[in-house]
Every structure is written in C-alpha cells, then in structure tokens.
Chain A
Amino acid sequence: MIDSELAALYQDIIIDHNKSPRNFREIPPPRHQADGYNPLCGDRLNVYLTLDGDRISDVSFKGSGCAISVASASLMTEALKGRTVSEAEALFERMHALLTGQETGSQDIELGKLEALAGVRAYPSRVKCATLAWHTVQSALAEDPQAVSTE
C-alpha cells in the first residue's frame, strides 16, 4: 500500500515526466548553456536556452538523474518557454519557496503544474534534486561558464 507522503512525492505527473521528459534535447549553438551537478547523488543536467530579446524563446535539457531531478527539469522547461527573464526569476523564487516550505515568494506568478513538486518538502535530502535544474538555468541565463553544484 502506497502511503500518502509517498504518493504526494511520486505523483503521476512526476512519474510521467521522468519516463518521458519534455524538451529533452540539446539546442545547437549559439545558445546559453550550463552544467548542473549534484555530487551527493551524481545527478548531472545540461540546460540550454535561447533568448529573443529578454524572452526565453526555447529551453531544453539533457542529462541523467533521479525521477525528482529529471521531472523537475522537464516541468521547468515547459514552464519557462515564452517567459521573460524577470518572469523566470520570479518563478524560481516561488519554486524555491514551495520546495523549502517558506511561502514567501511573489504570488503574482502561477506555478501551475510545478505545484506537483511540493511533495519534496517532506524529504529534506531530496530538495536539492528538485532545485538542481533551476539553479542550472539561472547559471545559463547568467552565462556562467562554470558547472553549477548544489553543494
């Protein structure tokens, strides 16, 4: 019998995005790119994006990791496509608040499907899995050539 906390963590949408990640491809240059690495579990993500002015015209990722990190990256690419850079930053702040249980982020921006990751909150050791893609995309936006590490 699957208990409620576990069911909240591994929701159907998480399982689905893990099995069939969206935007799972490399964007050829010229593009923004960053590598994210979680040394604790070996999760490694590459995030790619193109900007049209200050709008994210395309965003994708490649890599491997646990279901939480892959589904989080997949959901993130869906959520960010077509957003402006400042909207992306607002979303990041809301996600961070959602995952760490501090509902302090701006409420102006809807999380939508990203709400599915809220179950991670009950698993402190797994929060970094869910935030890896978001830290990496921030790094890609800043064109930081260094790999992102969650440690």
Chain B
Amino acid sequence: MAVTDPTLINSLSDPAALRKDFPALHQSVRNHALVYLDNAATTQKPESVIDAEADYYRHDNANVHRGVHTLSERATAGYEHARDALARFIGAESASEIVFTRGTTEAINLVAGAWGPENIGPDDEILLSELEHHSNIVPWQLLAKRTGARIVVVPIDERGNVPLDGYRERLNKRTKLVAIAHVSNALGTVNPIPEMIRLAHQAGARVLVDGAQAVGHLPVNVAALDCDFYTLSGHKMYAPMGIGALYMRQDIAANMPPWQGGGDMIRTVRFEESTYADPPQRFEAGTPNVGGAIGLHAAIKYLDAIGMQALEDAENQVLQYALTRLLEVPGLRLVGEPDRRIGVISFEIEGIHPHDLGTLLDHSGVAIRTGHHCAMPVMEHYGVPATARASLGLYNTTEDADSLVAALIEAREIFNR
C-alpha cells in the first residue's frame, strides 16, 4: 500500500520521533509527563487519524450509498476504500467479507444474533476458553439460553495458557462453534490460533476469533488462519472509537440472514416481504460510522508504514525489558506468565490493592488499568478480585518501563510508611 504522507510516519528506531505523531501523549498529568500504559483499554491516536476523521467532516460529510451528488460520492468512496484497506490489512480475500461494526462487541453479537440461531440448536456446544473477555462470553450465554445449547469452557493452566490437549478433549461432534481470543486482554497470552482452528474444523465446528487485542500488535492474516469469523476494534489499533469490523468468510456470509433491519441493508421493501442486499451491506443497517471508517483507514496506513512485524518485534523488546525490571519491585507478583505473550502485564503488589495502586500511579503520571479487565473468570482462576495491568503500544519505550518501576517503588513507600 502506498503511504500518502511519509513525513507523518516515523521509524520505530526513533521512538521519540514516533511519539511526536501522538498529540495526547504530550501532556503532563498531576505535574508529571504522562506515561500511557493502558493500551489494552484503548490506544492513543496519531495526528493523521485525527486529521482524517476531522477532514471528512470538514469537507466530505454526506450519507453513503444514497445520493448521487458529489459529496455523497466522496463519502461513499472514502468509506469503501476503508473497507478495501482493512480487507488487505488482515488478509481477507475480498472486501465483501468485511462488515463494519461499532467494535468487537457488536461484531460478536452480530454473529451470535444472526448466525447463531440458524446454526446452533438444543444440546449443541459452544466452546470457549477460561480467559475470554466478557464480550466473548455473554453473547454466547444469551444464545445458549435461546437455543438450548451448552457453553463448554477450556480451563487455562497456572501460567495462563490455553493448553491444546485440554482444548482437544473438549472438541466433539456436538461442538458447533469455537469462540476464542487471539490474544488475552487480561494476561497477554497469544493463543495457538492456527492449530486451534485446524482442530476445530476437523471436528466440524466453525471458529470465531476475537482479535481485539491482536490486530494492533501483531501481523494477522485471516485467510492463512482459515478462520470463519474474525472480530476487531478500531480504537485498540490507533483508530477512533466507535468503529470496528467483523470478517466473515464469503460462503458463510452469503447464507446468513440479516441481523438488524433498516435502511441500506435491503434490496426491495414491500409490506408483504422484503428482500435483502448482498453482504456486506446486508449486515450494515442504518447510517454507518463513515468518519470512523476513514479514521481507521488512516490508522491502517500508519501501521502499514511501520510494518506489523517490525512493530511486534519492537513491542516485544520493551515487554522483555519491562518484565525484567518489574521483578526488581519488592512484593510484586506477576499474574499469568504465558508461554507466548504480547505487551500486556498483569500483576499485584503485596499489601496494596490494585485500585489504590491505580490512584497512586496516576499521581506519578503513569496510567495503568486496575480491575477485573472484563475477564472475571480469569480473576477467579487466580483467586484475586482484581489486578493491575500495564499494556504497551507502539510508542512505549524502555524509559516508560523505568517510570512504571519507579512509580511502583514510590507507591510501596507511601503504603508501607
């Protein structure tokens, strides 16, 4: 893909220059330079993304797929180019396999709501892992309640891995769907997705991959993975909030009934009966988030210019440095030490509740997440009500890890006085 404005893009070899692209990073919080380590919750946005969305509203704003006037054609082109770009970015064979949604949660609910009732019946099984985010648990519970299907859960091991043998044991001919995170938002675990998909297909099950924590941090190719559904959120990959996507393989999408009804998803409407548009329009009722999609396109250009493999390698270097340095903090215990992980670190500090830690760190300008991370079963597994979680983005440096460690040591001094 062509980079529209190479001056906007800086190399990972110069993180200080790269940070200049993200205006929100340049502020002080409680008299300290902000150290933003809550990227698993949401990433900051580069100037090019903010400008792309603002420029759309400044110059092109119009409804899509409707008007024949110039602005509507520009808006439609911008929206559809974003779809093309996302399809290429995640390795889809065709842009028609990409449905824009509000985010991962809506994408999963779309599959549960439209594909689920047609394909899952009484006594069928939906296989999940213990480390799923609530958004990859609750929609399936709702579906199971409606259809009489059962939820089956693969437990995680002590390190926070989903063991393949435990997974294999629970796959059987009743398994109709496997819904699994590519990367755990609570522990950073990277699941062995290619093998899991292969095994699920052997058992005759479809696979939905929750890619919310993966797409902004490692290369993803849905065709190579051979998954049936892949879901993502723009705001976790440097794009605006309120835009995300569902990838659905063409043959599945073609046979799927609509989810929400409304404008833009129909072919003809009569009171007796309506007919529906082909995918992806069939699944995009109502006016979509065009500005968000255009912002997502800008984020994809930004990530493409850096290169996802280079980005994964750079984040991994900061991660390894942070893990080593964190062990220097007295009383710190890592929660989860998965075999393969990205830059998400859950931990606790003896004698300090994570909630207090969050407030104490904020006073050092360090933003982390504290709580159950919408993954209560993971917290239960480790017997903790909550953890502190530091999570990396492409702009984090080893200096940020140093700031985190210094702030943690200071927090301990305040609490142990």
Chain A interface residues (CB < 8 Å from chain B): 2-3, 5-6, 9-10, 12, 15, 19, 40-44, 64-68, 123, 126, 129
Residues A42 and B415 in contact, CB atoms below 8 Å apart? no
B72 at the interface (CB under 8 A from A): no
Specify which chain B residues have a CB less than 8 angstroms from the CB of A2 in the assembled complex: 363, 414
Residues of A within 8 A of B359 (CB): 6, 9, 123, 126
A45 vs B226: C-alpha distance in the bound complex, in angstroms? Answer: 48
Q: How far is the CB of B373 from chain A (nearest CB, A)?
A: 11
CA distance A5 to B354 in the complex (A): 19
Beta-carbon contact of A41 and B370 below 8 Å: yes
Tell me whether A66 and B355 are in contact (CB under 8 A).
Answer: yes
Kindly identify, within residues 372 to 417 of chain B, every residue whose CB is under 8 Å from any CB belonging to chain A.
Answer: 372, 379, 385-386, 414-415, 417
**Chain B residues near A65 (CB-CB < 8 A):** 353, 355, 385
Which of B's residues lie within 8 Å of A, judged by CB?
30-31, 351-356, 359-360, 363, 370-372, 379, 385-386, 414-415, 417
Point out the residues of chain A lying under 8 angstroms from B415, CB to CB.
10, 15, 67
**Would you call the interface of chain B mostly helix, strand, loop, or mixed?**
mixed
Given contacts A65-B353, A126-B359, 8 further A-B contacts (CB under 8 A): A6-B414, A10-B356, A19-B351, A41-B371, A65-B355, A68-B355, A68-B356, A129-B355
The 3 closest A-B pairs by CB, nearest first: A42-B385, A66-B355, A66-B353
CA distance A19 to B417 in the complex (A): 11
Closest CB-CB distance, A122 to chain B, in whole Å?
A: 10
A-B contact pairs, 8 of them (CB 8 A): A2-B363, A10-B356, A40-B371, A42-B371, A42-B386, A66-B355, A67-B352, A126-B359
**Given known A42-B385, A66-B353, A67-B353, contact A3–B30 (CB-CB < 8 A):** yes
CA distance A111 to B356 in the complex (A): 24
Task: Give the docked Cα–Cα distance between A40 and B360 (Å).
Answer: 18
Q: Nearest-CB distance from B138 to chain A (Å)?
A: 14
Q: Which residues from B are CB-within-8-Å of A5?
A: 30, 363
Chain A: CB-nearest residue to B384: A42
